[in-house]
Amino acid sequence: MVAEGPETTKSVYQLSQKYGMEVPIVELVYEILHKDANPKILLELVAKVGLV
């Protein structure tokens, strides 16, 4: 089992932005960990667009 943390999420998010990659799950986790987004609201939005 591998567990990644806030710093790894930040690094992956920054690389995705730099290279123009779409990584919706990383973006959601980044918003929760680094921008204090409400996880419940984000998960509801994800469910509406069919990512989960």
For residue 21, how far is the Cα from the chain centroid? 13
Q: Side chain identity at 19, as an amino acid letter?
A: Y
Residue 7 to residue 48: CA distance in whole angstroms: 28
- Tens of pLDDT, residue by residue over 1-52, are 456 788 999 999 999 999 999 998 899 889 998 998 998 988 888 888 876 6
Tokens of 4: 């990644």
* List of long-range contacts for 20-26, beta carbons under 8 Å, 24+ apart: 24/51, 25/51
Please tell me the predicted confidence (pLDDT) of residue 51: 67
